[in-house]
């Protein structure tokens, strides 16, 4: 059988898998590379990530990494105000990416896959092979949520982006051979849009339950009562932590004066760094391995007020058998049952749940064990990839797929 080639285009280099979107894209590329010769084309918005190019070349048939100058991209995005487009589309438009895709298309591709609506236009034009777009989330709804929490004039900008991007998502669904969403909820939102003519398939996130398992990482010399793990330059994470520290943490400290809270995540903004050393808070910055920090914590929290799709931070904490206390938004895309996690939306309720678990170690351990069992039952990556393979097989007519 002749070699099978597949193109994978991403708005951000898939490696290292240290952010939610990069975890999904990396695991997808890694999986595809076991069955196809993968031609990867991706933008790089952090110059340090170029050091992973050689490793990616050991996995993929070819790798084209395009540097993304955020300032120049932001200026390009302003063109959307003139053209009427969603601002995120011109943000990611680059002739170097066009050339990289043109070179990959010289191979006999069995499929082209784009990760996110931002780069989907690259493969919706000129593709001879079937096209798959992994929308993951309904990004337009994220912008709609932002506009509800931002003051003018940005509220109007975000509302405009939500409307324009919703139109883009609808066009993608109708033009692509297959579109993927991360959860039932995100798929339902996309399917419900006026003008949508095709189905949306579900390809859920998974977690490496062997890597993220209790006792799998070296122990830290310190311990924490509560931890939040996530990239600290992402607005939804920043908002969650600031809300937690302002509205919830003081009540926890009133009831447990020596309680400690770790914020573990890369690129903490100045206002996050300012929390370090105050009221039992530790800001770690980037950590090479989050597992020791999860292992060292008694409770993992996800106080998200804005969340789309599936929170990898929650899946990883559950896999590590840590009891998770989270808002409804943070647990929205995860199929969990009573006793496997705790929902707390109001600040005082959130604080009370933390105190209750700190005082009842047996209950905390029971919730953590139940959470890990849920991951083992339903959230291994192999289980999720069956859905992806089925979609690709369904749109490709190449023998042997």
Homologous superfamily, domain 5-206+381-395 = Glycogen Phosphorylase B; (3.40.50.2000)
Mean pLDDT of 20-33: 96
Strand order in the sheet with 37-44: 62-67, 37-44, 5-10, 109-115, 131-136, 178-181, 201-202
pLDDT at 399: 42
User: What does the pLDDT read at residue 307?
Assistant: 85
Among residues 84, 77, 182, the alpha carbon closest in space to that of 138 is found at 182
Rg of the chain over all Cα atoms, to the nearest angstrom: 21
Looking at residue 263, its pLDDT comes to 98
Pairing of strands 281-285, 201-202: unpaired
Mean pLDDT of the 47-68 span:
97
The tens digit of pLDDT for each residue in 278-321 reads: 999 999 999 989 999 999 999 999 999 998 888 999 999 999 99
* Percent of the chain scoring above 90 in pLDDT: 90
Average pLDDT of the chain, as a whole number = 94
* Topology classification of domain 224-378: Rossmann fold (3.40.50)
Q: Are 248 and 211 in contact (CB under 8 A)?
A: no
User: Once rounded to an integer, what is the mean pLDDT over residues 262-268?
Assistant: 95
pLDDT score of 108 more than 70: yes
The confidence score (pLDDT) of residue 194 equals: 94
Q: Are 166 and 159 in contact (CB under 8 A)?
A: no
What are the tokens at 374?
């849920």
Residues of the chain with CATH 3.40.50.2000: 5-206+381-395, 224-378
Task: Tell me if the pTM is above 0.95.
Answer: no
Tell me, what's the pLDDT at 2? Answer: 56
Query: Does the pLDDT value for residue 277 go beyond 90?
Result: yes
pLDDT of amino acid 397? 56
Give the pLDDT confidence of 75-87 residue by residue, as tens digits: 999 999 999 999 9
For the chain, percent of residues with pLDDT exceeding 70 = 98
> What does the pLDDT read at residue 398?
45
3-state secondary structure (DSSP) of residue 113? strand
pLDDT at 102 over 80: yes
pLDDT at 308 (0 to 100): 85
């Amino acid at each position: 059988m002749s070699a099978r080639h597949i193109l994978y285009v991403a708005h951000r280099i898939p490696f290292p898998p240290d952010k939610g979107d990069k975890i999904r894209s990396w695991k997808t590329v890694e999986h595809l590379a076991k069955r196809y010769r993968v031609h990867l084309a991706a933008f790089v918005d952090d110059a340090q990530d170029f050091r992973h190019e050689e490793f990616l070349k050991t996995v993929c048939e070819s790798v084209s990494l395009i540097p993304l100058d955020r300032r120049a991209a932001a200026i390009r995005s302003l063109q959307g105000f003139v053209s009427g487009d969603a601002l995120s589309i011109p943000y990611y438009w680059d002739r170097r990416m066009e050339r990289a895709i043109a070179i990959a298309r010289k191979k006999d591709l069995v499929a082209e896959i784009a990760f996110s609506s931002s780069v989907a236009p690259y493969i919706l034009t000129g593709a001879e092979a079937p096209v798959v777009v992994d929308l993951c989330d309904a990004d337009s709804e994220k912008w709609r949520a932002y506009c509800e929490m931002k003051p003018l004039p940005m509220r109007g900008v975000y509302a405009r982006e939500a409307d324009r991007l919703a139109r883009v998502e609808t066009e993608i669904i109708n033009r692509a051979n297959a579109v993927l969403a991360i959860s039932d909820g995100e798929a339902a939102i996309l399917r419900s849009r006026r003008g949508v003519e095709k189905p949306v398939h579900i390809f859920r996130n998974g977690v490496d339950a062997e890597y993220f398992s209790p006792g799998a990482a070296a122990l830290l010399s310190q311990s924490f009562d509560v931890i939040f793990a996530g990239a600290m330059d992402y607005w939804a994470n920043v908002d969650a932590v600031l809300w937690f520290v302002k509205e919830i943490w003081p009540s926890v400290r009133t009831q447990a004066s020596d309680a400690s809270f770790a914020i573990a995540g890369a690129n903490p903004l100045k206002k996050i760094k300012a929390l370090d050393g105050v009221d039992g808070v530790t800001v770690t910055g980037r950590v090479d391995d989050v597992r020791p920090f999860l292992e060292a914590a008694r409770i993992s929290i996800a106080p998200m007020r804005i969340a789309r799709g599936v929170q990898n931070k929650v899946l990883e904490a559950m896999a590590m058998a840590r009891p998770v206390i989270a808002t409804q938004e943070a647990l929205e895309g995860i199929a969990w049952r009573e006793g496997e996690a705790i929902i707390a939306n109001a600040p005082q309720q959130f604080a009370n749940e933390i105190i209750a678990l700190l005082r009842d170690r047996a209950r905390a351990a029971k919730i953590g064990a139940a959470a890990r069992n849920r991951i083992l039952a339903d959230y291994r990556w192999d289980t999720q990839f069956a859905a992806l393979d089925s979609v690709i097989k369904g749109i490709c007519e190449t023998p042997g797929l």
